Amino acid sequence: MEKIRVELEERSYYIYIGNGILDGIGEKAGGFGFTHHIALISNPTVFALYGARVMKSLESAGFTVSEVIIPDGEQYKDFMWVNYIMGELLKLRLDRKSAIVALGGGVVGDIACFAASIYMRGIACIQVPTTLLSQVDSSVGGKTGVNHFLGKNMIGTFYQPSLVWIDIDTLHTLDEREFRAGMAEVIKYGVIRDAEFFEYLKTHKKAIDSCQPEQLLHVVKRSCEIKADVVSEDERESGIRAILNYGHTIGHAIESITGYTRFLHGEAVAMGMCHAAELARLSGLLDEGTVQDVSNMIKAYHLPVSSPEDLRPDMIIESMQIDKKAVAGSLRFVLPDKIGSVRIVNGLSDDLIRKSLIYKG
């Protein structure tokens, strides 16, 4: 089992990663001094697959476990379901020393840990992520929250989990499209921080694609290490953490215009990363060959490299203006200057951005 520390003074915690470790969660949670009652928050899909094992493990460690099930889907990551969770926790009489275990993908993790952050002004939460995206991104770093009809992820808290428990074996039941979407965030880590890792993704593509345990473990571990490093440097995104948004400014706009239903988050980020690489080239930061390297990697993992024809560049620019990543009216982009290194750039002209959106890969 691999172990990575997220260094945040009194809010520090460990991420544990392994294959077949799901049944060990109870023993690990037992060492934290939580009161006996734990709420296991999940959705019907994931609970049917892994709920019994997680409950058995926690019960064997002496916990009383009550499941709180929310429906499966991004549309349920909202206040109404936070309110539902609050009601269930109150009925269960969870106290300030109880803990929540979030079992599922990013939707469950975001809403469950948001609920933990506000229930009785904050109780402990444990992330047990089961999608590739949640294992390499959303379960680490403490961003929790829900959507509002006026904007995605607009309501939330920074609230670090007590631990993150990642069993990569859970990825065997994950839909292929969801797996690929998670790979977009993995590729992102290579581009922003680690050229060697980027190369690894190229040379081990076959093994990663077929979920070979050794390579998959390396992919999840290296991604978590990079995210842990960045978050340790800048927990609340006042500086360097913004590099994790590479591909997201354009990606979010694509998701928003298409109503969050046509593309998975990772697919939109994949397109966003290619357009941002092209924007870097147009800004004189990146050579053409490296733009192609980014785009080839995205293609290799069967992800889209450019926004669809029906989304005109002006529509994307307009949507980006209302995104929260626009700081004081100026759009902010994370642009690579080589593989493994990015800069945060403000004040680019609409004309340049428009040209980058014409990129076809």
344 by Cβ neighbours in 10 Å (0-12 / 13-18 / 19+) ranks as middle
What are the helix and strand counts (H, E) for the chain? 15, 11
State how far the Cα of 266 lies from the Cα of 175, in Å rounded to an integer.
14
Pairing label, strands 124-129, 99-104: parallel
| Letter string b/e over residues 92-120, b meaning 16 or more CB atoms within 10 A of that residue's CB | eebeeebbbbbbbbbbbbbbbbbbbbebe
Task: Report the half-sphere exposure of 109 (CA within 13 A, side-chain side).
Answer: 30
CB of 238 or CB of 349, closer to ligand NAD: 238
The CB-nearest residue to ligand GLY is: 244
Residue 141 interacting with ligand GLY (CB under 6 A): yes
State how far the Cα of 53 lies from the Cα of 55, in Å rounded to an integer.
5
- The per-residue DSSP string of 278-295 comes to HHHHHTTSS-HHHHHHHH
Residue 143 interacting with ligand GLY (CB under 6 A): yes
Residue 105 interacting with ligand GLY (CB under 6 A): no
> Are 171 and 103 within 8 A, CB to CB?
no
Q: Under rule CB under 6 A, how many of the chain's residues touch ligand GLY?
A: 6
CB of 131 or CB of 356, closer to ligand NAD: 131
CB of 67 or CB of 74, closer to ligand NAD: 74
Indicate which of ligand NAD, ligand GLY, none lies near residue 107 (CB less than 5 to 8 Å, by partner kind): ligand NAD
Q: Which listed range, 71-79, 83-91, 159-167, 283-291, lies at the site for ligand NAD (CB under 6 A)?
A: 71-79
Indicate which of ligand NAD, ligand GLY, none lies near residue 234 (CB less than 5 to 8 Å, by partner kind): none
DSSP letter at 18 equals E
Q: Is 355 designated active site?
A: no
Residue 244 interacting with ligand GLY (CB under 6 A): yes
Indicate which of ligand NAD, ligand GLY, none lies near residue 258 (CB less than 5 to 8 Å, by partner kind): none
Of residues 134 through 193, those in contact with ligand NAD by CB under 6 A are 134, 137-138, 141, 143, 153, 170, 173-174, 178
Task: Provide the 3-class DSSP secondary structure of residue 221.
Answer: helix
In this structure, what are the phi and psi dihedrals at residue 37, rounded to the nearest 5 degrees? -95, 125
Member of 94, 124, 133, 285 binding ligand NAD (CB under 6 A): 133
CB of 18 or CB of 105, closer to ligand NAD: 105
Beta-carbon count within 10 A of 357 CB: 24
Member of 18, 63, 77, 257 binding ligand NAD (CB under 6 A): 77
Q: Is 36 designated active site?
A: no
CB of 218 or CB of 241, closer to ligand NAD: 241
Q: Of the candidates 111, 103, 148, 147, which has an alpha carbon nearest to the alpha carbon of residue 129?
A: 103
Binding track over 84-113 against ligand NAD, x by CB under 6 A: --------------------xxxxx-x---
State how far the Cα of 258 lies from the Cα of 252, in Å rounded to an integer.
10
Indicate which of ligand NAD, ligand GLY, none lies near residue 241 (CB less than 5 to 8 Å, by partner kind): ligand GLY
- Kindly name the residue from 43, 77, 180, 185 that is annotated as catalytic: 185
Distance of CA 358 to the CA centre of its chain: 27
Catalytic (active-site) positions: 121, 143, 185, 227, 237, 241, 245, 248, 252, 265
Residues in the site for ligand NAD, rule: CB under 6 A? 43, 45-46, 49, 72, 74, 77, 104-108, 110, 130-131, 133-134, 137-138, 141, 143, 153, 170, 173-174, 178, 265
Residues in the site for ligand GLY, rule: CB under 6 A? 137, 141, 143, 237, 241, 244
